[in-house]
Structures are given as C-alpha cells and as structure tokens.
Amino acid sequence: MTSTGREHGREMTRREMLRRFLALGLALPGGTALLAACAGGQQPTPTTAAPTQPPAGQASPTAPTTGQAEDKLEIFSWWTNPGEADGLKALFDLFSQRRPGVEIINATVAGGAGTNAKAVLVTRMQGGNPPDSFQVHAGQELIGTWVVAGKMEPINDLFEQEGWNKVMPKTLLDQISHEGKFYSVPVNIHRSNMLWYNKRIFEANNLQPPKTVDEFYQVAEKLKSAGVTPLSVGGKDKFEVPHLFESVLLAVFGPEDYPKLFGDPGMWESDARIQEAIDMLDQFLSYANEDRAALSWADAAQRVIDGSAAMTIMGDWAYGYFINKGAQPGQVFGWVPAPGTDGSFLWLSDSFGLPVGAPHRNNAIEWLKVCGSREGQDAFNPKKGSIPARTDADKSKYDEYLRYSIERFAQDKLAPSVVHGAAANEAYMTAYNNALNVFSASRDKDQLKGMLIEAAKEL
Amino acid sequence: MTGKVIEEARPRPGVATRPMAARSRYRLVERLIPILMITPSIIAIAVFVYGFIGWTTVVSVSRWQGIVPDLSFAGFRNYAALLTSYRFQSDIRNTIVFTVFFLIGSLSIGLLLAVLLDSKVRGESFFRTVYLFPMALSFVVTGTVWQWLFTPGAPGQPTGLNLLFEQIGLPVFQTWSTVSHVWPGGGWKPEWLRVPFGVPLAMIPVIIAAIWQMSGFTMAMYLAGLRAIPDELREAARVDGASEWQVFRWITFPLLQPVTLSAVIVLGHISLKIFDLIMTQTGGGPGFATDVPGIFMYETTFKSNKYAEGAAVAIVMLLMVSVLIVPYLIWRLRTETER
C-alpha cells in the first residue's frame, strides 16, 4: 500500500502542489491579519502606563489628567446570573458617565461560584494577557494567589485619595492588604452563615426558627416526623457541603478561634473540637436529602420555597435567588443566622484589583474609583443582593434583608469564609473541599478527619 | 490492489525522453519538494506535540506549585503524592472500571446492531442513521441529558428514568447516581490502597450514557467490516453444512478481528481520556465515585494552581494511553512492513 501511495503521490503532485502553494500563500497573510486583529484588542502596555495608543477620536469631558486617552476597559468577572449581572451593569453605567466613549468589554465566565472563571483568569495572567481589572475574593484568594506572586499593583494612593481606609472596616482592610499595602477595592459583602427557612412549613408545624444547634436538632426531628425534609443541601457545584461545614466550624469554635484554624495547621490534629465539628456535620447531614450530589445550591434552595424541604444553610446570595423566583421575604421564607452562629458574621467580599500590566491602566483606575465610591456601591449592591463594603451606605436604597445584614455587619464579630476564598489559599480550599465532598457521599468520619489534617498541610 | 498493477505498468510520459542532467536535477527537485512540503508539519508536531510532552515532563518533576513558575527539580515527589492520594487512586479505579464496561458494552451492542442491520432488513439505511446519530452529539449534550434522566427528584417525586424504576418496583436504582457506594467494596486490600475495590454504582449511569453515544459508531465500524467479508466464504461454509451460528462463530467473527482491534483502540483512548461527559453528567461526584484523571488534572492545574502535580497527572494519563496505543502501533508497523 505504502509504495503505491508514494508512486501515486508523485503522479499527482505537480498540479496539486501548485494549487497547494497558492492556497498556502493565500492563507498565510489572511492568518497573520487575523492574528494581528486578535492582538490588537489587548495591546500590552508597560505598567508605568506610557501612552502608547493614539488618542481616541472622541475626547471625554472628564479628560484624564495625564492627557492620555484609552478607548477600552476590560472587566473580568463571573457575574452572569440575573441580579449580579444587573449590578455589574449599574457599575458600568456609572463608569460610562465618567468616561463616555470608552468601550467596556464585559469578560464573564459563568459557573461554579467562580471556579471556572478563575481557571480562565489564571491562564490569561500566566500568558501575560491580564484584563484591566478582575473580580477576586478579598483575602487569601487575592493575597496568597496574586499578590504574593507579584501580579498585582498596590493601590495605596487610591485608598488615601478616596478616603476608603476610613469608611471600610479594619477586618476587611486587613484581608486586602499585604505588608502594609492595599491591593484591591472591595465592592460588597456577603454573609455565608445564614439559614433560610420556609415560613409556611414552620407555621404549619408550630415551630420557631432554630437559634442554637440543639434547637436545630429539635426542629429537625419534628420536621422529620412530619414528613418534611428538614435540611436541603446541594452538592453538584462541590462547594455546598464545604459551605455547610464552615458554618458548623464557626458554631463549634466561635468567631475568635475559628480564624486560628487557618493560621495554625496543627489545630486540625490536636484540637478535640474538630471531632465535635465533624460529628455535628454528620448529624446535620442525617437531616438532609440524600440526593445532594445531583443538586446545585440553587436547586436545594428551590426546594425550600417549593415547600418540599424546610431549611437550607447557604450564603445570602440565596436571598437574591428567592427574590428572583418571586418568593416574598417574610411571607414565603425567613432567615436567621446558621445554628449556633448568632452574633458572628462569616463574610466574604468581592473586590476588584489592578493587575500588573493592565492594558488600559488609566481606565482601570477610574473603574476602581467607581467600585469604591459610595454611589457605585449603592448602585451595585441592592441589585446584587449584597451589602456595601463601605459603612456609610444609604440604607434607604436597600430592602429588608439587606438592612438587617448591614446592621449585623456593623455589630457582629467578623470571621472570614474559607470556602469563598477569604480565609485560606486556593490549594487549601481545593483540598478542604475535596475532603468534604468525599464525606458527603461516604459519611466516613475518620476518613474526613484524616483528609482535613492532610489538607491543613497546604496552609 | 488492482490499482497498483496499473500504476506500475503505466510508463511515465516525459521522464525518459529528457536529457540526463535535466533529469537528475528534476529528480533532486522532485525529491526535495516532498521534504519541504512536510517540514512545516514535522516542525509543528515536534514543537507542539513532542516539545510539550517534554515540557510537561519537566514541569511534572518540578516544584511549580503556584502562580509563579519554579522549575527546580523535585524528584518524583509529585508522583508519590499522586499515587498516595485518595482522589487519584479513586480516579485510576474509576478509569479502569469505565474503560472495561464501556468497551464491553459498546463492542457487544455495536456488533449486535451491525449483525442485525447486515441481515438485509428493510429500511436499513434509516436504522443505520438512527443508531449512528448519538455520535453526532457532543459528550456535553449527552452528559447533561443523561444527568437529567438519572437525577432523583425530590423525595417521593421521582423524575426521569427513576419514575420508570419506581413503576417497575425497583426504587433502589433511584439513588444510583447520588451514592458513592462501591460494589462489592470491603474485603481485604493492601495497606497503601485508600479506596475500596470494585465498581462504583454512580459510574453505571455514566457508562450507560457513554455506551449510548458510542455504540452506533462501533456498529458502523462493524458494518463496514461485515460488508468487506466476501460472500463466497460464508457460502462455502454453508455448502459444507455449517449452521448460521457456526458461520458467524467460525467465519464472520474471526474475520472481524481487525475491526474489533481498531474499535478497541478508538474507544479505549476515548475512555482513558474522558472528561466532558463526566464533567457534565456528575462532575466527578458523588465524593469522587466517578472522578477521572482528566477532571483531576484540570482542577489541580487550573483551580488549585498546582502546576507540577497537574503535569504529573497528565504524564500518568499519557502512559496509560500509551499502554494501549504503542502495541497497536508496533503491530501496525510490523504488518505494514510485511506487506
């Protein structure tokens, strides 16, 4: 066969070859043009922001002081759902008022509480193609991943110029700073340790929402005998059970000792309260649906407003979900802090930073100013269903739950969330999540303890 | 084969009549041009395939665990970490289970369908298209749809296939896709093995979906194989008094062996590298009962930023596929040189 093929090839080459050369000749310039076009969108400019680009045709009224005009701004986030996408758009609108004529590139990657987006972001940053600014959880996700690697520019000037360090709580500021420098602008605060319950089921069974863990067990037993799934838990996005466990850890360790878990890896092995927390999680799961591997957190939350389950423990983005589904707060569903965590606020915060080598640095800085402004935060947060990172928000713009949350944030003891990137680095998060996802299915407590101790090596 | 004879017999016009010098120059050019033609692809393959395999190997023995590259030599520490980790052991078990059942299922269903279609049924081309059609879908579509089919609804309200199981009195199957039980599990296992031996039940729905998608393709391969078997052989066997089963068992089946081998190679390398189907259908859960090295590699590298460990997974996957492909390539090469 091969020899025939070769002979035959020789016969047909001459004319064919000419044709192929021609085709190649045509394809190459086309290809290079295409490449050039791709590259044109993201011209890397040096960090010192030398004005390499020609001024845009349209001069903006609030012309940047450097006299340089950039015509684009690329913002990278994982906000694609209704609510959060609306909030992002509100920020874009504010930016466009300040810099009309700048084209905003909304680079979003959906799914998995941002895990997919982060994977894309890493490849872009590694490839020297950073967006102008990107969404990042305040805390170790920012510091441990990006700042330590030297990929972020400090923005202390901005903080002083805009006075943000006076209007944001110190705990939060600590989480966005490294060696005395600030690295990102927090736009919002979410609360992780919340329990959402179906009011009608509670009323029908004559129950009060549980405050302590013991009350939770009592309520769950009653619901169980009434034939309702007491606790609805997801698992498909692989962060739901780890999320439940961080509330459990907070209940067991309290807001003072809980953060130590992520600073002192030895505690996972030596502290007897770990076993207590594992037992508690096991008991929580015994009141939960068995099919959690097939449900996302949203599916699990849906069961609560549908009435096929009574409670779910989820961050307060669930509130935004309920509202979007048309459920009436206070009538269909209610909320209390997760059992045993009243008085503690397990927070996470979305923030935007300034990557080294941002192609449109001036626009990026203006964007950060919008993000940090009171106006920007009050435009973004009511839509996103979160509370502002600034403590001087205009409360009248927020609805019932958010006003409650603003109040709690000001008064409660604050503790950082681990699942959502505030307390620990990504490698630890993955190992921690793995351990809990295995446990969710196997319910093997010794195995969980072993895997948690192993995970702590990543801290 | 007849083409070969004709090619060689035909005199080449123009070649013999040219003067010697021009002819040898022409020969040289003729020899050079093919080399020039394939050089770009050889360079591209050298860089983008073998170069990157080499690069991955280097990364896999480095200390690059974070955003900043650190290529200092770490020995085989990453491999050791992998082999002792719960997740990777589970991945290897799952890959073996998936590959074995997927191959058996696809091959037997594909062969059955091909034999049925080959028996000159009416509307053969219609059925052929129908059976082949799932292959036209992306694994992502298959995974999503089968996930919906297998998802157990809220307690007491089964949906999809589970409704069927409920109706026929087998409610036990409803939780297939959401329990991490390994059958038979338990029993003796070596000290270093952290996962139970056996078939994870949650893998079964995934295997079903994969077989559904790929058995049509296997059928097409077998059908082509069946059509290539000369009727004379079977006729001769029948004249000798062989029953239809005997004809199939002793004539058709042995002659299909090369097709089976090709199918094993094609399906095998799909199953060893499977990612999209499982990612969409189960995401590797519950508790890594359906996790595979592809998902592990993706998450380790791009979600935990542990590049060295991710590269080590990639190399292990490459070795697994090589175990399948290399003997096949050697066999092909040998049969070709024999010819």
Contact A434 B152 (CB under 8 A): no
A225 and A307 both lie in a single domain: yes
Are B138 and B39 within one domain? Answer: no
CA-to-CA distance for B115 and B226, rounded, in angstroms? 8
Asked whether residue B137 is assigned to any structural domain, the reply reads yes
Dig out the tokens for A87 from the structure.
């909030």
A81 is a domain residue: yes
Give the count of domains, chain B. Answer: 2
Contact B287 A292 (CB under 8 A): no
Instruction: Say yes or no: B90 and B132 in one domain.
Output: yes
Any domain includes A123: yes
Contact B303 A4 (CB under 8 A): no
CB contact under 8 A, A2 and B336: yes
Chain A residues whose beta carbon lies within 8 Å of the beta carbon of residue B87: 434, 438
Last residue of a domain, one of B43, B60, B77: B60
Residue A333's beta-bridge partner residues? A198, A329
The pLDDT value given to residue A353: 94
Chain B residues touching chain A at CB-CB below 8 Å: 3-4, 7-8, 12, 30, 33-34, 37, 65-68, 86-87, 147, 150-152, 154-155, 157, 175, 177-180, 202, 282-283, 285-289, 298-300, 302-306, 336, 339
Would the CB atoms of A441 and B180 count as touching at under 8 Å? yes
pLDDT for residue A423 is more than 60: yes
Domain match, A391 and A444 both: no
Note whether ipTM > 0.90 here. Answer: no
CB contact under 8 A, B175 and A290: yes
Whether residue B142 sits in one domain with residue B31: no
Residue B10 in any domain: the answer is: no
Query: Does residue A173 sit in the same domain as residue A195?
Result: no
User: Are A217 and A183 in a shared domain?
Assistant: no
Least confident of A59-68, B111-120, B278-287: A59-68
Pick from B180, B206, B291 the residue to mutate for testing the A interface (most A CBs within 10 Å).
Answer: B180
Question: Considering only CB atoms, which chain B residues are within 8 Å of A431?
Answer: 304
Higher pLDDT, B121 or A435: A435
- Nearest by CB to residue B175, choosing from A291, A303, A431, is A291
Domain membership flag for residue A29: no
Nearest CB neighbour to B285, from listed A2, A10, A437: A437
Whether residues B145 and B220 share a domain: the answer is yes
A vs B, Cβ pairs < 8 A, gives: 124
**Span B23-42, mean pLDDT?**
88
CB pair distance less than 8 Å for A17 and B33: yes
- Which among A31-35, A219-223, B66-70 has the top mean pLDDT? A219-223
Per-residue b/e over B57-76, b at no fewer than 16 CB within 10 Å? eebbbbbbbbbeeeeeebee
Query: How many residues appear in chain A?
Result: 459
What integer pLDDT is reported at residue B210 of this predicted model? Answer: 95
The tokens of A265 are what?
């890896």
Partner-chain residue, chosen from B7, B285, B286, that has the shortest CB–CB distance to A4 = B7
**Could you report the per-residue pLDDT of A43-77, keeping only the tens digit for each?**
333 333 333 333 333 333 333 444 456 789 999 99
Domain membership flag for residue B118: yes
Q: Would residue B78 count as lying in a domain?
A: no
For residues B54-70, average pLDDT: 90
CA dist A104 and A116 (Å) reads 22
Residue A305: both structure tokens together: 């407003």
Residues of B in Cβ contact (< 8 Å) with A10: 30
| A290, closest residue in chain B (CA to CA) | B178
**Domain that residue B275 falls in:** 85-338
Pair B217, B179 in one domain: yes
The verdict on a CB contact (< 8 Å) between A118 and B303 is yes
Residues A195, A292 share a domain: yes
Cβ distance B303 to A115 less than 8 Å, yes or no, reads: yes
Q: Are residues A297 and A223 in the same domain?
A: yes
The domain that holds A91 is classified in CATH as 3.40.190.10
Tell me which chain B residues have a C-beta less than 8 angstroms from the C-beta of A302.
none
Do B218 and B103 belong together in one domain?
Answer: yes
Place of tokens 């983005």: A317
Are residues A84 and A210 located together in one domain of the fold? no
CA angle A145, A150, A154 (to 5 degrees): 100
Cα–Cα distance for residue pair A295/B27, rounded to 1 Å = 69
Give me the residue label for tokens 């589904």: A325
Query: Is there a single domain that holds both residue A399 and residue A423?
Result: no
The reply to whether A306 and A423 lie within a common domain is yes
Q: Residue B173 — pLDDT band, cuts 50, 70, 90?
A: low
Query: Confidence class of residue B7 from pLDDT cuts 50, 70 and 90?
Result: very low
The whole-number average pLDDT for the span B132-140 is 90
Which of A104-113, A444-453, B28-37 has the weakest average pLDDT? Answer: A104-113
Q: What is the DSSP string of B20-59?
A: HHHHHHHHHHHHHHHHHHHHHHHHHHIIIIIIHHHHHHHH
Chain A residues in contact with B336 (beta carbon < 8 A): 1-2
B169 and B28 in one domain?
Answer: no
User: Which of B78, B304, B313, B335 should one mutate to test binding to chain A, selecting the residue with the greatest count of A CBs within 10 A?
Assistant: B304
pLDDT single digits (tens) A84-118? 888 999 999 999 999 998 999 998 887 656 777 88
Average of per-residue pLDDT across A251-269: 93
Residues of chain B in contact with residue A126, where contact means CB-CB under 8 angstroms, are 67
Domain assignment present for B79: no
Looking at the fold, whether A141 and A124 belong to one and the same domain comes out as yes
Please tell me the predicted confidence (pLDDT) of residue B171.
65
Q: Of A363, A380, A404, which residue constitutes the final position of a domain?
A: A404
Residue B222 confidence (pLDDT) above 90: yes
How many residues does this entry show for chain B?
339
Q: What own/partner pairs with CB < 8 Å and gap ≥ 24 does A381-385 have?
A: A381/A87, A381/A187, A381/A188, A382/A87, A383/A83, A383/A84, A383/A86, A383/A87, A383/A90, A384/A79, A384/A83, A384/A84, A384/A86, A384/A87, A384/A88, A384/A188, A384/A320, A385/A83, A385/A84, A385/A316, A385/A317, A385/A319, A385/A320, A385/A323
- The verdict on A206 and A333 lying in the same domain is yes
On whether residue A84 sits in a domain, the answer given is: yes
- In which domain, by residue range, is A265 found? 191-347+419-458
Say whether both A307 and A440 belong to one domain: yes
HEC per residue, A323-349: HHCCCCECCCEEEEECCCCCCEEEEEC
CATH of the domain at B151: 1.10.3720.10
- Choice between A116 and A365, residue whose per-residue pLDDT is larger: A365
Q: Looking at the 3D structure of chain A, how many domains does it have?
A: 2
Q: Which residues of B touch A122 (CB under 8 A)?
A: 67, 302, 305
